[in-house]
Amino acid sequence: MHDAAVLIAGGSVASPRAIARGEVDRAVTFCGGLHHALADDAGGFCVDNGAAPAVAALVQAGLRTVAYVDVDPRVLTVSLYRSLTVRR
């Protein structure tokens, strides 16, 4: 299970990095969406969090604004912040 989760999280990071480098215009990660896990704890069905490192990769690549839209089956969550602190 861990190996599969790491591959999915890695794809979630590789896609935005490829966009930021100009290698592709758009990318999709069909298995991406593991976003309930915390840094030190699994959450929901998520063993690893792919969304947080994907957003961090875009910020580290120099993008000034990143929008992450979480659409669960019945809930749309949109969070707006003036600044982002990337914790390592």
Digits of tens for pLDDT over the chain (88 positions)?
778 878 888 888 898 889 889 999 988 877 766 777 776 777 777 777 778 888 888 888 888 778 777 666 677 766 666 655 555 4
Question: Alpha helices, DSSP H only, in 21-86?
Answer: 51-60
Strands (E) in the chain, as ranges, are 70-71, 76-77
Q: Is residue 51 within 8 Å of residue 29, measured between CB atoms?
A: no
pLDDT at 81: 62
What pTM did the predictor assign? 0.66
